[in-house]
Amino acid sequence: MPPPPRILDSHIHLWPHTSTTPAGHAWMAPGGPLTKQHSLSDYSAATATPLPPSPSSPLRGAVYVETDRTLAPSDAQDVLARAAQPLDEIAWLRRLVTGTPAAGEAFAPGDGAVLWGLVPWAPVDGGVDALRTYLARAEEVAGAQTWARVRGFRFLVQGLRGRARFDAVVGSEAWVGALRELGRRGWCFDVGVDARGGGVWQVERAVEVGERVNGGREEGEAVRFVLNHLCKPDMEQHPTSPEQLDAFDRWSAAVERAGKSPHTYMKLSGAFSEIADQDPAAPWTPERVVERMRPWLDKLFQSFPPERIMFGSDWPVCNVRGPGEQLSWTSWKAVVEKILDVYGLTDEQRDRVWYGTAVEAYRLTPPKA
């Protein structure tokens, strides 16, 4: 099978060296594998793609997804004070897009052309008024050129581990109203839940709320939901124990329910974080990874057509439990190639997974020079 003719990586993260402290990212531990700058030059090396990509390059572009910046400890309605770090992230994106690096940021003018779409953070937990206040300020910080590449938003909810806390946020009228506002404006919303770390109930609840958000909405106002990383099921082993089988059955039912909505998409991404830690000196073969993922992949392809499944690398997070910085991106690409072979996708369907689904979901176009 020849390599795919074109790839749109629907899920990458980047951050400058100035944000690699708990003040910038509370989840970054000193000395951790991700606690260092990850810039466009690093992504170029990982993908073996010179930047900006040429028209003949398999990798045509990527979608940047927000990196869960630290939120200031303030009332949810004091949105601009709370969002100081996410707004700083948007300023970083502006430098990437406009080709104006600060000292040490490791990218060159023109490299930002690889970023076809941007998915920043948004305070959807604060309701419509807070969202509108934030969006107005975010647009000012971004500037016209960068704001034109914003295609959606994310508010990561996988860390809301208690059910009561999760429901108080995700089930609130403020949440529903803010998401409907995004739909009215034509933006999509990335859904980051964690069946393994948080509990399969996160997936179930997110799907229920998504139905509530879009229930009765006009076609042009429905929110396009993009589910991240297969919703992060536990794929350390095939389910065998009663607890594992119950979690798998519930995950399967939620994914099947999500797949019934034409406005819901799934990212084929993030799997290296949910299977056994790999040794870079002896990485798993694509065949072994696919075999480990097989029960979940079966349900994915039963529930979602290829027209609503998209390739994403989750770089550089894929490096942590994948086969390392030098191999993880290309290894995951090889895994997806094997998946598409195993499930017998046509050339047209393959192109949707590699490229077309992300273009449709995020309404992407190549950036203008």
CATH number at residue 106: 3.20.20.140
pLDDT exceeds 60 at position 276 = yes
Q: Among the listed ranges 3-17, 249-263, 310-324, which one has the minimum average pLDDT value?
A: 3-17
Region 282-302: mean pLDDT is: 98
What are the φ and ψ backbone dihedral angles of 200, each rounded to 5 degrees?
Answer: -65, -20
pLDDT given for residue 267 in this prediction: 99
- Tell me, yes or no, whether 2 lies in a domain: no
pLDDT tens, residue by residue, 226-247: 999 999 999 999 999 999 999 9
pLDDT given for residue 74 in this prediction: 65
- Tell me, yes or no, whether 161 lies in a domain: yes
pLDDT tens, residue by residue, 242-262: 999 999 999 999 999 999 999
Are 8 and 364 in contact by the 8 Å Cβ rule? The answer is yes
Average pLDDT, the chain: 96
Collect contacts of 75-78 with beta carbons under 8 A, ≥24 apart: 76/123, 76/125, 76/126, 76/130, 77/126, 77/127, 77/129, 77/130
- Tell me, yes or no, whether 368 lies in a domain: no
pLDDT given for residue 76 in this prediction: 57
Total-model pTM:
0.97
- Tell me, yes or no, whether 367 lies in a domain: no
- Tell me, yes or no, whether 128 lies in a domain: yes
- Tell me, yes or no, whether 154 lies in a domain: yes
- Per-residue confidence band for 55, with pLDDT thresholds at 50, 70 and 90: confident
pLDDT exceeds 70 at position 364 = yes
pLDDT given for residue 6 in this prediction: 95
Q: For the chain, what is the domain count?
A: 1
- Tell me, yes or no, whether 210 lies in a domain: yes
Parent domain of 125: 7-362
- Tell me, yes or no, whether 369 lies in a domain: no
